[in-house]
């Protein structure tokens, strides 16, 4: 049998992703997390937008304290107070002769002239009137010019590049964008996906299991992983091993506007493995069928003449998981211009063997010790076994040319 290698398959998948044109939409900031930026985002304004105080303290001009010390303190009368949100221009500072000071709170606007620093309240001695108001402060150290000042544009400058095109938006981006007053963004439209499971043995998870039934676990799994990638799962259901029914549903889902179809089951060599044949009858261009991997070898990938792609993945749960993780996800990432995932090298803990000529994706556990990464291939690698997947915290990807791996 002619097997496609993993690297060849990825090249083909990325080629198909390049041909797909994704459209964009403008959406509200609060809906942006997890979406991918369609264009560069520049800062529309300076942040902070005005000079303000980094501390609760007193406004001064640093040069007034040039000779200040414990034995030669400087005394300044206090003429008022500026709180965050107050317009400092309306404070009575202008009427006062300098040197004098104003009490200022964290985040409050520093008046345009006269002051260049803030000395924090912990660093001065305060003198109070009988109403408890500070009327004078004593400074006994030299204050540096600019101390405790947050300057206009110190965080973001107007027109500075904030987010590059093709960046996946995180909550940290939302924090920055909200601070900058960006209320909406152009992002790639959600990918529209259909998940179609095949198998006459399949039973919906909410139904009683009949004598020879198997619960459709990979349908809900795929739905969840696509949703996690921000995709719009427009259809998720299952059909019996009936090519006629299968083709009818494929037609119907295409009509609703779909970018990716993923089918599970019926791509191997069995009597009821009809998917590849049915897709050929539907005019799908087959890019590959059968890849030199374990698990998940019978994987199918094709493209409709109208541009949609279809992954036909084998039905065993771990084959489906591997197909999504190592084939579908790279397709989505490439489509959205996201950077390809980079694996890390780990030291093997327990010797094991694998089939030569196949790239193997094994459920594994990694741990860190003395700045080294160690990996243990778990027991129960069979592609129907989900229990070991729950134990795993990583995938071990073992190259084709190896067959015995020692530590």
* Cα dihedral: 16, 22, 28, 31 (round 10): -20
The two structure tokens encoding residue 305: 């003449």
Distances (CA, A) of 161 to 25, 61, 165, 177, 221: 21, 34, 10, 12, 38
Question: Which residue in the set 36, 162, 225, 266 belongs to the binding site for Mg ion (CB under 5 A)?
Answer: 266
* Binding test (CB under 6 A) with ligand AMP, winner from 230, 296, 314, 330: 314
Select from Mg ion, ligand AMP, none the partner in contact with residue 140, using the beta carbon and a kind-dependent cut-off of 5 to 8 Å. none
Q: Which of 265, 295, 302, 317 binds Mg ion (CB under 5 A)?
A: 265
**Radius of gyration, alpha carbons of the chain:** 32
Minimum distance from residue 198 beta carbon to Mg ion (Å):
6
Binding partner of residue 4 among ligand AMP, Mg ion, none, CB under 5 to 8 Å per kind?
none
Q: How far is the CB of 8 from ligand AMP (least distance, A)?
A: 22
Q: From the DSSP assignment, how many helices (H) and strands (E) are in the chain?
A: 8, 27
Q: Is 219 in the site for Mg ion (CB under 5 A)?
A: no
Residue nearer to ligand AMP on the CB measure, 53 or 197: 197
Residue 216 binding result from ligand AMP, Mg ion, none, given CB thresholds of 5 to 8 Å by partner type: ligand AMP
Pick from 289, 357, 277: nearest CA to 323: 289
Q: Which of residues 150-209 bind ligand AMP (CB under 6 A)?
A: 197, 199, 201-202
Residues 12-41 that bind ligand AMP (CB under 6 A): none
How big is the chain, counted in residues? 407
The whole-angstrom distance between residue 334's C-alpha and the CA centroid of its chain comes to 15
Q: How far is CA 26 from CA 22, 186, 210, 231, 234, in A?
A: 14, 4, 48, 16, 21
216 binds ligand AMP (CB under 6 A): yes
Q: Is 82 exposed, middle or buried (0-12, 13-18, 19+ CB in 10 A)?
A: buried
Rank residues 52 and 383 by Cβ distance to ligand AMP and give the closer one: 383
Cis peptide bond prior to 48, omega within 30° of 0: yes
Closest distance between ligand AMP and the C-beta of residue 157, in Å?
53
Our CB check for Mg ion shows the closer of 199 and 317 to be: 199
**Which lies closer to ligand AMP via its Cβ, residue 115 or residue 238?**
238
| Residues within window 253-312 making contact with ligand AMP, judged by CB under 6 A | 264-266, 268, 270
Residues 316-335 as x/- pattern, contact with ligand AMP by CB under 6 A: xx------------------
Which range touches Mg ion (CB under 5 A), out of 182-190, 265-273, 290-298, 397-405? 265-273
CA dist., res. 406 & res. 398, Å (int): 12
| Residue 366 exposed, middle or buried by CB count within 10 Å (0-12, 13-18, 19+) | middle
For Mg ion, the closer CB: 223 or 268: 268
Site for Mg ion in 311-330 (CB under 5 A): 315
Assess 199 for contact with Mg ion (CB under 5 A). Answer: yes
95: DSSP letter: G
Report d(CA 106, CA 56) in Å as an integer: 5
Structure token digits, residue 55: 């501390």
316 interacts with, out of ligand AMP, Mg ion, none, CB within 5 to 8 A per kind: ligand AMP
Site for Mg ion in 108-167 (CB under 5 A): none
SS3 280: helix
Which of ligand AMP, Mg ion, none does residue 295 bind to, with CB < 5 to 8 Å depending on kind?
none
Contact segment (CB under 6 A) with ligand AMP among 31-39, 65-73, 204-212, 315-323 equals 315-323
> What distance in Å separates the CA atoms of residue 275 and residue 41, rounded to the nearest whole number?
44
CB count within 10 Å of CB 370 equals 5
In the window 362-401, what residues touch Mg ion (CB under 5 A)? none
Between 231 and 386, CB nearer to ligand AMP: 386
Q: Applying CB under 6 A, what is the total number of residues that bind ligand AMP?
A: 18
Count other C-beta atoms under 10 Å from residue 165's C-beta. Answer: 13
Residues pairing with 392 in the sheet = none
Site size for Mg ion (CB under 5 A) = 4
What is the torsional sign of CA 302, 304, 309, 314?
Answer: negative
Residues of this chain that bind Mg ion (CB under 5 A): 199, 265-266, 315
Residues of this chain that bind ligand AMP (CB under 6 A): 197, 199, 201-202, 214, 216-219, 264-266, 268, 270, 314-317
């Amino acid at each position: 049998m002619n097997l496609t290698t993993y690297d060849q398959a990825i090249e083909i998948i990325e080629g198909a992703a390049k041909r797909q044109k994704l459209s964009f939409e403008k959406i509200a900031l609060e809906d942006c997390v997890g979406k991918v930026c369609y264009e560069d985002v520049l800062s529309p304004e300076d942040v902070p937008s005005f000079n303000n105080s980094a501390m609760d303290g007193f406004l001064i001009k640093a040069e007034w304290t040039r000779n200040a010390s414990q034995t030669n303190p400087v005394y300044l009368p206090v003429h008022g107070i500026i709180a965050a949100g107050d317009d400092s221009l309306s404070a009575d500072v202008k009427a006062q002769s300098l040197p004098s000071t104003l009490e200022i709170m964290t985040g409050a606007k520093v008046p345009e002239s006269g002051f260049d620093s803030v000395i924090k309240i912990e660093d001065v001695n305060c003198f109070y009137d009988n109403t408890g108001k500070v009327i004078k402060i004593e400074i006994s150290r030299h204050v540096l010019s600019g101390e405790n000042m947050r300057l206009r544009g110190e965080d973001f400058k107007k027109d500075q590049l904030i987010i590059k095109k093709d960046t996946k938006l995180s909550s940290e981006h939302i924090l920055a964008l909200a601070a900058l007053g960006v209320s909406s963004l152009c992002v790639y439209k959600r990918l529209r996906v259909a998940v179609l499971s095949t198998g006459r043995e399949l039973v919906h998870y909410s139904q009683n299991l009949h004598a020879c039934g198997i619960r459709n676990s990979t349908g809900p799994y795929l739905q969840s992983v696509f949703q996690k990638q921000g995709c719009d799962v427009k259809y998720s259901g299952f059909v019996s091993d009936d090519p006629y029914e299968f083709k009818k549903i494929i037609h119907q889902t295409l009509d609703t506007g779909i970018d990716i179809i993923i089918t599970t089951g019926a791509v191997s060599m069995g009597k009821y493995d009809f998917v590849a044949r049915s897709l050929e009858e539907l005019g799908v261009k087959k890019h590959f069928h059968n890849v030199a991997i374990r698990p998940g070898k019978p994987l199918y990938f094709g493209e409709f003449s109208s541009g949609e792609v279809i992954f036909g993945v084998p039905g065993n749960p771990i084959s489906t998981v591997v197909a999504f993780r190592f084939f579908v996800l790279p397709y989505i990432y490439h489509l959205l211009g996201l950077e390809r995932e980079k694996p890390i090298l780990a030291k093997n803990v327990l010797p094991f063997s694998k089939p030569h000529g196949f790239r193997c994706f094994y459920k594994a556990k990694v741990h860190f010790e003395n700045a080294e990464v160690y990996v243990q291939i778990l027991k129960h690698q069979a592609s129907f076994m989900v229990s070991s997947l729950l134990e795993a915290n990583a995938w071990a990807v073992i190259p084709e040319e190896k067959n015995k791996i020692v530590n």
